Chains A and B, each alone.
Chain A
Amino acid sequence: MALASSGRRFGLAAALLAGASLLAAAPGARAALDPAHKGGTLHLLTHAPEGTLDPQINYTLKNWQLYQFLYDGLVAFQKAGGSAGFKIVPDLAEAIPTPTDGGKTYVFKLRKGIYFSNGKEVTVDDVVHSFNRIFRVSGPTAGTFYADIVGAPECLKKPAGCTLPGVVGDAANDTVTFHLIAPDAEIMDVLAVPHASILPADTPDKDLGTTAAPGTGAYMIKSFDPAKEMVMVRNPHFKVWSEAAQPDGYPDEIDYSYGLTDEAQITAIENGQADWSFDPPPADRLAELGTKYASQVHLTPLTAMWYVPFNVNIEPFDNKDARQAVNYAIDRNAVLKIFGGPALGTPTCQILPPGFSGYEPYCPYTKNPGKKWSAPDMAKAKALMQSSGKIGAPVTIITEDTEVSRDIGTYLQSVLNQLGFKASVKPISQDIEFTYIQNTKNKVQMSVTQWYQDYPAPSDFLNVLFSCNSFHPGSDASVNIAGFCDHKIDADMQKALTTSITDQKAAASMWAAIDREVTDASPVAVLFTPKHVDFVSKRVGNFIFNAQYYWIMPQSWVK
């Protein structure tokens, strides 16, 4: 299953990005809470918590899934199922403003009468402070998501006590004005993610760690013990101001307990001792879940991918023929069998996942190349190996030490040996693997990893993973793991980004062309797009899966 417990791999929104997700649609009509189902305690499980509670620093899906009902930003992703969840709706702001000044100025009017869980009303001061705080605590996306705000570069250099001249509050009119250095079509997306949560102005300017900041969400964190559990209860000062942005929830309490193994979690949910687990079910329980507990299983396709980055700067994969040989030789059906069967994913060759703007089916690495992958082409692969001259080269495949990742690695080892390499597999702790494979000092030749979207922008996959800007040699944070840097493709991507500010359709076909270009260069071998498995207990009702944050927990009832 896709989600390693060490979190998802989020995309970066680099500076001049054009997003496809800016849809300032009015919130859809929602049913009000059915009082018959209100109440009870939801029991959630996972191996361990992930990182700090600080919403402006934590960058993992595990916590982002919780922040959606604990905190609010000026705008938010709509709490609706499916791709309606990609719509951005006003949250603490009354409306989504149209920009002025050539797209560089946004004026947000703050709603009145919204209170933090400590009883204090939200003011313009809190908003300004929160954005300054993103830089003061050196949040991971300060230099990427929010680099467009006037004053950001200075704040990045000297974070302590800095103030952004680009965020101006007017208490008299209850407005907050944003001044940008340049127009940014993804500005609403970055204002909707938890890094832009509005916190009280007196929140300390350092990583909160295990202490929770008061929030405006429907729920609040009552207690957090990283070795035991997190307890969330209703925010006593919460009143619904927008059903679409922050609806009320059904359970009175949500317990998120830590410490059980995969198998134990599934058993607990089967026995009704818990309601859901964040971690993917182990492979040997899937058959049981798909038959005996089929009514409690929810499968949702994700805009994500499992893929194999090649290091294009060192032997032997600095040779394009060698990379393509591996791409042709991988049997993606076999890989899916390891993942849990063809019902859990779709084989794919290209970078962009289905459902993205700019997605046009394209698969060259198969017998009968065309739109879909059908079977590996061993003959072509072996021919490419001959021409590459890399037969006999030693290769080490780095994987996570989770069941699926290891097994995929062992399978790939078999394929590489068939091609003539001398392959070995090395699993590393999943908490370390992602940073390990990014650092060029470790000379990783090939690895198995995953990538999940931040929000549905093609740049999130293509620009973030394959632009020269994302490659930082010698650093643990170099998410262009392949080390791919092609200046022509970079220029194409910049063009697509600028085009998307004005002409979405043209940008989409530009991204499709870039998708094909990068796929052909084969800096990575994409394996499949996974489906997400949510296994809930019998008593959980009204399961809503939001494409952005996955299961919206408080929208389900337990009574």
Chain B
Amino acid sequence: MVFVLFGISVLVFLIFFATPGADPAARIAGRNASPETLEQVRASFGLDRPLPVQYALMMQRLFITGELTSFVNRGERVVPEVMEAAPVTLSLVFGGAVLWVAGSLVIGLTAAAFRNTVVDRGLMILSLIGVSMPVFWVGEMLNLVTQNRLHDTVLFSWVPALGYKPLLADPWDWFKTMLVPWVSLAILYIGLYGRVLRASLVEAEQEDYIRTARAKGLSEFHILTRHALRMSLIGFVTLFGLDFGVLVGGGALLTEVVFGLQGVGKLTFDALHTLDLPMIMATVMYSSVFVVLANTVVDLLYAVIDPRVRAR
């Protein structure tokens, strides 16, 4: 894990300083600042020190003292900002994940059970539509419908204003606020996971132990859920680890932006837009931790899911 974090942090640092126009001194100093002012600002931010020194200082301020401050919002400490934004992202991703796992299980199982029938084809079309729609477009369309065009109808008048409401303050309001973003996030993944699951299930059906089960007289449903599903989970779980890890780390940037949720993704988005290196570094490190963690957990889960892997 440490190697991954080190590698990525160095890459981020180098990319930032290789970018022309990224020098924050002029933007911090204020418009039309005099050359003397620019020098003052540069010195006070340590931007005139050699790169390795700046890197070491930044890492120290980020991980050890937690004092790292933003280039854009001067004086704002980035670590507390990320920590405050984390629950928002977690709310979004957990809820969305529940929806998409449940949804894709239903779709995958149904499609496999009714293989090659109209039901299967129909679900395939729906799944692929979900995968092909850009996230930003889905979010904006949902907003267009729920907040604007149909907001006054009984269908959507319950949708609250955009922006996060903390869970503990008002759970019902929190739920109502998050429902549409959850759907928006899940649409892409339901389609993808549904297709992958269906394919694995159909594959698994060909396996011999399934034939054995069928020979034993077990029902198709039982076979699907108890035996075939278990073997199909490897692909499913792997993908889930990859996606969930990235999302928890702030990968759902555009969903958070469109729905006004101040999560880690939104912080990342703003930081990239303003080339705010400290915030970029903080969010990228935060994200990397979860990516590596998720993949490690998935590797451990392999042994649980597929006994064949266990025998190493």
Contacts and interface: CB of A to CB of B under 8 A. Distances in A.
Contact between chain A and chain B defined by CB under 8 Å: yes
Interface of A: 7, 9-10, 12, 48-49, 51-52, 57-60, 138-144, 156-157, 159, 206-211, 226-228, 257-261, 263-264, 267-268, 270-271, 273-274, 428-429, 431-432, 434-436, 439, 441-442, 472, 475-477, 479
B73 A477 contact: no
Contact of B36 (A156, A257, A432, A442): A156
B7 interface: no
A476 B37 contact: no
B76 A226 contact: yes
Nearest to B259: A264
B74 interface: yes
A-B pairs, top 8 by smallest CB distance, nearest first, are A209-B75, A140-B30, A476-B26, A143-B34, A209-B74, A226-B73, A273-B161, A140-B33
B76 A157 contact: no
B37 A140 contact: yes
A207 B25 CA distance: 13
A351 to B, nearest CB: 18
B60 interface: no
B272 to A, nearest CB: 8
15 contacts: A138-B36, A139-B30, A140-B34, A143-B36, A143-B37, A144-B34, A209-B75, A263-B143, A263-B144, A268-B161, A270-B148, A432-B21, A477-B32, A477-B35, A477-B38
Contact of A435 (B27, B161, B266): B27
B26 A264 contact: no
A442 B163 contact: no
B90 interface: no
Contacts of A10: 31-32
Given A52-B74, A429-B274, A264 B21 contact: no
B41 interface: yes
Given A227-B262, A268-B147, A268-B161, 11 more contacts: A138-B40, A139-B37, A140-B34, A141-B30, A156-B34, A228-B262, A260-B162, A263-B140, A267-B143, A432-B21, A476-B27
A3 to B, nearest CB: 14
B81 interface: yes
A262 to B, nearest CB: 11
Contact of B23 (A59, A141, A476): A476
B201 interface: no
A460 to B, nearest CB: 12
Given A138-B36, A140-B32, A142-B37, A261 B76 contact: no
Contacts of A226: 70, 73, 76, 81
Contacts of A258: 262
A207 B36 contact: no
Nearest to B20: A442
B151 interface: yes
A60 B162 CA distance: 27
B239 interface: no
A436 B35 contact: no
A264 B34 contact: no
Interface in B2-24: 20-23
Contacts of B23: 476
B260 A264 contact: yes
A432 B25 contact: no
B147 A267 contact: yes
Contact of A260 (B38, B41, B44, B163): B163
B275 interface: yes
Interface residue tally of chain B, by bracket? 35 or more
Contacts of B76: 209-210, 226
Given A227-B84, A261-B257, A442-B20, A479 B75 contact: no
B147 A264 contact: yes
Interface string B69-100: 11011111000010011000000000000000
Contacts of A12: 32
B40 A431 contact: no
A261 B85 CA distance: 18
A59 B262 contact: no
B113 interface: no
A210 B74 CA distance: 6
Interface string B268-286: 0010011100000000000
B258 interface: yes
A373 to B, nearest CB: 29
B148 A267 contact: yes
Contacts of A434: 31
Contacts of B25: 476
Contact of A436 (B21, B40, B144, B261): B21
Interface in B149-166: 151, 161-163
B161 A442 contact: no
Contacts of B275: 429, 431-432
Most B-side CB within 10 Å, residue of A10, A58, A143, A211: A143
A337 B301 CA distance: 58
A333 B25 CA distance: 38
B151 A431 contact: no
B26 A435 contact: yes
B29 interface: yes
Given A209-B75, A227-B81, A227-B85, A271 B147 contact: yes
Contacts of B31: 7, 9-10, 59-60, 140, 434, 477, 479
Given A431-B275, A476-B38, A477-B35, A58 B267 contact: no
B149 to A, nearest CB: 10
Contacts of B29: 57, 138, 140, 477
Contacts of A259: 163, 260-262, 266
Contacts of A268: 147, 161-162
B21 A435 contact: yes
A234 B262 CA distance: 27
A142 B74 CA distance: 19
Contacts of A441: 20
Nearest to A273: B161
A20 B93 CA distance: 58
Nearest to B27: A435
A207 B75 CA distance: 8
A159 B44 CA distance: 13
B234 to A, nearest CB: 39
Nearest to A436: B21
Contact of B75 (A7, A52, A261): A52
A518 to B, nearest CB: 19
A475 B258 contact: no
Interface in B105-133: none
Nearest to A195: B30
Interface string B57-71: 000000000000110
Contacts of B70: 226
Contacts of B85: 227
Nearest to A470: B32
A441 B21 CA distance: 10
A192 to B, nearest CB: 18
A477 B21 contact: no
Interface string B190-213: 000000000000000000000000
A157 B34 CA distance: 11
Contacts of B260: 259-261, 264
Contact of A442 (B21, B144, B266, B273): B21
Given A143-B37, A259-B260, A432 B27 contact: yes
Contacts of B75: 52, 207-211
